[in-house]
Amino acid sequence: MTNKKTHPFDEALQLSGANNSYSGHTSPAYANMRGPFGGITAAVLLKAILEHPEHLGDPLSLTVNYAAPVQDGAFTIQTQLMRTNRSTQHWFVTLAQAETIAATATAVFAKRRPTWGATERPFPTIPPMEQCDSLLPSFLPPWTKQYELRLKGGTAKLFASDADKGSSETVQWIQDKPPRLLDFASLTAICDVFFPRIFVRLGQFMPIGTVSLTIYFHVDAATLSAHGDAPLIGAARANRFGNSYFDQAAEIWTPAGNLLATTHQIVYFKG
């Protein structure tokens, strides 16, 4: 124990337990409209594997299915190692509250080797962070206060009109608040910080809920560690809205143009 203050993110991710069974507790700092921010749930599911003594290599892919609202309070996580190969490993993880499954996840971990590489997706353009405003509507839920979120074009302007904008694409600066050294758990949560694309597209708030989230990690732990606690750049857009659901495709970049993660989700909306 030290008297150094623990970052709220690390407090939210505290787990106790062993032998594939762990206990945790939701954090008021990362609360959403109802229950916790989906990104913190994804992060704690991944952390249960990252802390597992049998885990091999770094996360390569993670899919989280949100099966039921997580209630504020205690939860249990069960990890199951489905298969270990020479360089990859497959996990299945569940989060439950009082016998009720609230989320399931599968993850692939991998040891990666240097190969030819190229980033095909164009790096998004955004003005310097200090030129983008950080105004967020005051009624947004607590988790939004744990991030510095500064949108190209201005955050306040985003919801200024309820006309159909024809596009839901945003580019934004993203940073833990207070700043925190980047790792796979925090990158996982950051993959879910984008405002729901239907809010952006229509300039309206409505009940929504992410049903499934997938992340592909394109870098190793050393690359994340070398990034330190500097801000990141995210870009997100939808492909299709309709019949109660829309999808979101997004990327997380370093300001130097290193693509850290690509992420997708499918989201319920009550339209």
- Report the interface residues with its own copies, using CB under 8 A: 60-61, 63, 65, 67-68, 82-83, 85, 87-88, 90, 92, 94, 100-101, 104, 106, 108, 110, 112-121, 164, 167-168, 201-202, 211-212, 214, 216, 218-220, 237-245, 247, 249, 251, 259, 262, 264, 266, 268-269, 271
Shortest Å distance, C-beta 62 to its own copies: 9
CA 158, 162, 165, 166: dihedral to nearest 10 degrees? 140
Kindly state the smallest distance separating residue 54's Cβ from its own copies, in Å: 15
Rounded distance between C-alpha atoms, residue 9 and residue 246, angstroms: 28
Nearer to its own copies, 63 or 71 (CB): 63
Choose between 29 and 266: whose C-beta lies nearer to its own copies: 266
- H/E stretch holding 147: strand 147-151
In single-letter form, the type of residue at position 40 comes to I
The helix (H) or strand (E) run that includes residue 201 is helix 197-202
Angle at 253 between CA 248 and CA 257, to 5 degrees: 135
In 3D, which of 180, 175, 136 has the Cα closest to residue 253? 175
Which of 17/69 has CB closer to its own copies?
69
Of 72 and 169, CB closest to its own copies: 169
Residue 16 C-beta: closest distance to its own copies, Å: 24
Query: Which CB atom, from 51 or from 169, has the smaller least distance to its own copies?
Result: 169
In one-letter notation, the amino acid at residue 224 is L
Least distance in Å: CB of 58 to its own copies?
10
- In angstroms, give the least distance from the CB of 172 to its own copies: 18
CB of 102 to its own copies, least distance (A): 8
User: In the complex with its own copies, which residue's Cβ is closer, 47 or 237?
Assistant: 237
Torsion sign, CA atoms 39, 41, 42, 43:
positive
- Only one residue has tokens 């950051």, namely 190
Closer by beta carbon to its own copies, 4 or else 83: 83
Task: Output the CA angle 63-69-70, nearest 5 degrees.
Answer: 85
- Cα 36 from Cα 53, distance rounded (Å): 27
Retrieve residue 220's tokens: 């190793």
Q: How far is the CB of 225 from its own copies (least distance, A)?
A: 15
